[in-house]
Amino acid sequence: MSAEQRLSDHERALYSRQIRLPGVGESGQLRLREAKVLLLGAGGLGSPVGLYLAAAGVGLIGIADPDKVEISNLHRQIVHGFDTLGLPKTISAAEALGEINPGLKVVLHPEGFTIDNAAELAARYDIVVDGTDNFATRFLAADSCVLGNRPLVHGSVLREAGQVGVFLPGKGCYRCLYPVMPDAGAVPTCAEAGVFGATCGVIGSWMASEVIAVLLGKRAASRLQVVDVAAGVSKLVALAADPACPCCGAAPTIRSLEKAAYAPTACQTQSPMSETPLEVTVEEAQRLLSGPNPPLLIDVREADEFALCRIEGARLIPMNSVPTRLAEIPQDVPVLVQCHHGGRSMKVTQFLRAKGYPRVSNVKGGIEAWSLKIDPKVPRY
């Protein structure tokens, strides 16, 4: 083993608590030192991801983000501060990461991750980490990783919930879950719906843990973790490659990155999906359920939660079983999706819409809001 392939005394001291972990050791720490990670977005998710990867000893991090630091960023984008307001996020983030790990090499991509550089950037790094906040870049990153045979770690947040996806080459990709890019207005942004900074911290830290697990060879399958911070629960959804996937399937239709495929799209005003709200209040849900043609109400909580309390007429399909029980959900009738607080049900609503169910809406606030505002006889927990 050459000197370059050994840890220095300084590195052994710096990473001593991590090196002691099973599956790490000096060889694992060396793997992290040699790793090249591309971070898409230096915002609410990219901040904790970057900080923890730098602290873990990842040797090279590329940062792709075209934005500048704004005051509205600071409550959640903890890699930035008041002293960096107005600076490009790439520069601000690089300075902060360098404070955590002076030996870190940082490559800046202030042009962002675009159709013009996506394939080349994905090829330059060992793994791509997507913390962006728009569908066009998410799908561009996902397709670039499939075409470039690179693993992808994806994260997203909304209000007090989020998800972390790990997509390994040949094991199921992002489009196996979401085959078609939704309209830009199909899901509210954090600017529209709000988000707790701590939620970004939870999801971003989880993303960093998954990146490290992939780099250390601890992941053998694709997976999606759905986290409801408000409810204090998370659910692991196992993924498998979909033979009909348009990107990684047996007969893929996506064989190259075409600019038109990733152009942000506006909602079509006459489409069934745009006529169906993404989310309804419990008051509106009650009105619909009491009408002459009530929608199908799906409860995506677990069986033990369902046994505690339920809304009359709800059909139990726990969230992690939805992908295998799509045949039970008709596509030609209105569907309401409900959980405890509304986090899990929002993820299922997004999933069903991406799978071609245009008339699905989330019940905002879940059964908790139903008990508080509609029927106090429904027990709360």
Confirm whether 85 is domain-assigned: yes
End-to-end CA distance of the chain: 58
Which amino acid does the sequence have at 170?
A: G
Which of 262, 282, 315 is at the close of a domain?
Answer: 262
Q: What is the pLDDT of residues 56-92, one digit of tens each?
A: 999 999 999 999 999 999 999 999 999 999 999 999 9
Whether 255 and 356 map to the same domain: the answer is no
Whether 249 and 348 map to the same domain: the answer is no
CB-based contacts of 280, cutoff 8 Å, min separation 6:
288, 336, 361, 362, 363, 364
pLDDT of amino acid 267: 39
Confirm whether 212 is domain-assigned: yes
Whether 203 and 103 map to the same domain: the answer is yes
Whether 240 and 281 map to the same domain: the answer is no
Whether 249 and 347 map to the same domain: the answer is no
Whether 233 and 129 map to the same domain: the answer is yes
Rg (CA), the chain: 22
Whether 225 and 284 map to the same domain: the answer is no
Q: What is the pLDDT of residues 232-288, one digit of tens each?
A: 888 888 888 999 899 999 999 999 999 988 876 443 434 444 478 889 999 999 999
Confirm whether 284 is domain-assigned: yes
pLDDT of amino acid 273: 47
pLDDT of amino acid 190: 60
Whether 235 and 369 map to the same domain: the answer is no
Residues of the chain with pLDDT under 70: 1-4, 183-193, 264-274
Whether 326 and 281 map to the same domain: the answer is yes
Specify whether the CB–CB gap between 140 and 154 falls below 8 A.
Answer: no
CATH assignment of the domain containing 79: 3.40.50.720
pTM of the model: 0.73
Which of 244, 262, 280 is at the close of a domain?
Answer: 262
Which of 228, 262, 296 is at the close of a domain?
Answer: 262
Whether 220 and 278 map to the same domain: the answer is no
Q: Which residue numbers are catalytic?
A: 190, 339
Its domain, for residue 288, covers: 272-373
Whether 51 and 178 map to the same domain: the answer is yes
CATH assignment of the domain containing 326: 3.40.250.10
pLDDT of amino acid 184: 63
The tally of domains found in the chain comes to: 2
Burial of 4 (C-beta count, 10 Å sphere; 0-12/13-18/19+): exposed
Q: What is the mean pLDDT of the chain?
A: 91
